[in-house]
A and B are shown apart, each in its own frame.
Chain A
Amino acid sequence: MEVGFLGLGIMGKAMAVNLLRHGFGVTVWNRTLSKCQELMEQGASVGETPAAVINKCKYTIAMLSDPSAALSVVFDKDGVLEQICSGKGYVDMSTVDAETSSKISEAITKKGGYFLEAPVSGSKKPAEDGQLVILAAGEKALYDEMVPAFDVLGKKSFFLGEVGNGAKFKLVVNMIMGSMMNALSEGLCLADRSGLSQQTLLDVLDLGAIANPMFKLKGPAMIKGSYPPAFPLKHQQKDMRLALALGDENAVSMPIAAASNEAFKKARSLGLGDLDFSAVFEAVKSAKDSDSA
């Protein structure tokens, strides 16, 4: 199977490599063309523009960092819209708000193409290991045709109905994740300030009802003050913001998410946006430093 791949960031690169390794023909594009080099070495072809990739491939996957990048790739000059047409499928796996997704879907289908949103749950390692959880919605026929690719990229995929549903599910999941990371950060701080061992706290957590892979994986590095970016904090904060907007639109009370979002904002203001989202721990910690501004 041949696919186009737009966007070779933390996620896109790992996903494209995975497809190549499993025998897919892949044509890549990235805004910074140099990033395509490594993929070329692994057997990918390169498209000079998103339009060029669409022109070449029946199916194209996009993995961009936020709504504005996702829109840009579609609507800008040399973008997807210039070449999309009947018989071609566009699968946007970026995490965006439902409105952005709908906008893209409408434009694609107007030109005869078919569209699937398919944001993923999982960060760098699951992407490398093909263990993502794919939350697809939109054109069911396209979903069925993408299953071979999804089976390589992920451990499980869901078809969730109309465009917007995938985006919404992703935001809800990441909202909970962001709040959980804050709860863990507060717990680690409180343990430390109370004279307890933070590692012991992690050990206790791992034995009980609230044990989860994220705490187990991120906890030890957080204690060491190490935040290698698997999921950049600025993207987590973007997701919290979008989730809060979704709640806003529907008058849904979300005080925990709101409080968590504040911590992520603070972390960004401390310059931690490009670190892993677990770096919010530093923002929670700094709240008690006697010499903080």
Chain B
Amino acid sequence: MANCSVVNASICIRQRLLLPFSAVFSSSPLSMAMAMTSSSIYCRPRFPISPLRRLPRFPKSSSSFTTIASSQTSGDAGKGGEFPGRVGFLGLGIMGSPMAINLLKAGCDVTVWNRTKSKCNHLIDLGAKYEPSPAEVASSCDVTFAMLADPESAVDVACGTNGAVKGMGSGKGYVDVSTVDGATSKLISKHIRDTGASFLEAPVSGSKKPAEDGQLIFLTAGDASLYEIASPLLDIMGKSRFYLGEVGNGAAMKLVVNMIMGSMMASFSEGLLLSEKVGLDPNVLIEVISQGAISAPMFSVKGPSMVKATYPTAFPLKHQQKDLRLALGLAESVTQPIPVAAAANELYKVAKSYGLSDHDFSAVVEALRAKLQHSE
């Protein structure tokens, strides 16, 4: 990303917006020349072709483009060197912690903050710096990531007391990788941009293990310039990235994906329970599914533990239900009935009422088992 090599002369040149530290990337004369280009031509980007790369596609709207990065393994020595700026990381939960660790391992200069300070210790041991508030992290960094659990915390961390906004300004970037609704994202975006900084929403597809393995999928939207700059960092934490245009599009795409996932898990749960109740071996069902057209990694990975009624948390059930709720909100805003998702949402709510919020979302299977609730 830092060295935007060109395959042949017919390739269009992409403009580099001149942010203070972007010039540092460009060590080659070609890159410098590109940085000077004043015209802004977003034509079909072509990256150097290697067997791992796929060609990017045209998106629906002409003002955005979709790119797919090559797969890169996390932990590549010195990859942090492609981004010499200082990186902030707000939120060190199930996702934030492994993501920040990957950045550190890649050699990035990382400053962290978490509401519960003790969660930072592990990162500090690995070489991260620490600041006591989002504002101080943001002011000491060039690009600050935020990975919070829900819209409320995302807004609070960005715009609350001592929020990131207080430390942002021209030349800085804020990349919110939390999963929120479009309205929340736009609100945060506005506050960030009002300071002169750039904003990128970049929710991820993938849970704990892909986060640890640097195999996340970033669904970004917002300031294209920040997307360009942050891409080496995204490539450390992830296996692919998409740029989807204006703020709201990344959030929407994430919600649609998780809506489908939530419905699939609920349906799979019905299948497992039905098998069990009619005297079939659910493990055989999992094997049969794995052989056919509906074989999905999620089923083979989660199925066996579901059969044993264990739900080690990779993606908390409460977050899956939050995503379904937000997806239903999105659907309502565009008047699109989604009855299957609505039925799935109800099941996750039942599971929450059984006290399963912090279990893995696969615990939704328990919601299909009727339980008598004692009245208060």
Residues of A160-215 contacting chain B, CB below 8 A = 160, 165, 168-169, 172-173, 175-177, 179-180, 182-184, 186-187, 189-191, 193-197, 199-201, 203-205, 207-214
Say how far B306's CB is from chain A's closest CB, in angstroms: 13
Given A176-B294, A180-B264, A214-B293, are A208 and B257 also a contact pair (CB < 8 Å)? Answer: yes
- Is A156 in the interface zone, CB < 8 Å from B? yes
B274 with A204: CB separation less than 8 A = no
- Is B267 in the interface zone, CB < 8 Å from A? yes
Given A169-B288, A252-B368, A256-B344, are A214 and B274 also a contact pair (CB < 8 Å)? Answer: no
Identify which of A184, A191, A212, A253 contacts B295 (C-beta below 8 A).
Answer: A212
Contacts of A213 in B (CB 8 A): 292-295
Size bin of chain B's contact surface: 35 or more
A254 with B60: CB separation less than 8 A = no
Question: For the complex, what is the distance from the CA of A258 to the CA of B266, rounded to whole Å?
Answer: 12
Contact string against A for B residues 279-322, beta-carbon threshold 8 Å, 1 for contact and 0 otherwise: 11000110111011111111001000000000000000000000
Identify which of A201, A250, A262 contacts B256 (C-beta below 8 A).
Answer: A201
Question: For the complex, what is the distance from the CA of A160 to the CA of B57, rounded to whole Å?
Answer: 46
Question: For the complex, what is the distance from the CA of A196 to the CA of B57, rounded to whole Å?
Answer: 13
Number of interface residues of A (CB under 8 A): 66
Say how far A165's CB is from chain B's closest CB, in angstroms: 6
Given A160-B284, A193-B334, are A184 and B260 also a contact pair (CB < 8 Å)? Answer: yes
A165 with B280: CB separation less than 8 A = yes
A190 with B259: CB separation less than 8 A = yes
Question: For the complex, what is the distance from the CA of A211 to the CA of B215, rounded to whole Å?
Answer: 15
- Is A293 in the interface zone, CB < 8 Å from B? no
Interface majority SS (helix, strand, loop, mixed), chain A: helix
Contacts of A247 in B (CB 8 A): 270, 274
Stretch at the interface among B2-10, B27-35, B238-246: B238-246
Question: For the complex, what is the distance from the CA of A271 to the CA of B1, rounded to whole Å?
Answer: 51
Contacts of B374 in A (CB 8 A): none
Contact string against B for A residues 214-254, beta-carbon threshold 8 Å, 1 for contact and 0 otherwise: 10010000000000000000000000000100110010111
Say how far A143's CB is from chain B's closest CB, in angstroms: 15
Residues of B303-362 contacting chain A, CB below 8 A = 327, 330-331, 334-344, 346-347
Contacts of A122 in B (CB 8 A): 292-293
- Is B114 in the interface zone, CB < 8 Å from A? no
B256 with A196: CB separation less than 8 A = yes
Contacts of B267 in A (CB 8 A): 175-176, 179-180, 183, 256-257, 260
Say how far B341's CB is from chain A's closest CB, in angstroms: 6
**6 A–B contact pairs at CB < 8 A?**
A173-B271, A190-B259, A200-B57, A203-B57, A204-B205, A252-B270
Binding site for B on A (CB under 8 A): 121-123, 126, 133, 135, 155-156, 158, 160, 165, 168-169, 172-173, 175-177, 179-180, 182-184, 186-187, 189-191, 193-197, 199-201, 203-205, 207-214, 217, 243, 246-247, 250, 252-260, 262-263, 284, 287-288
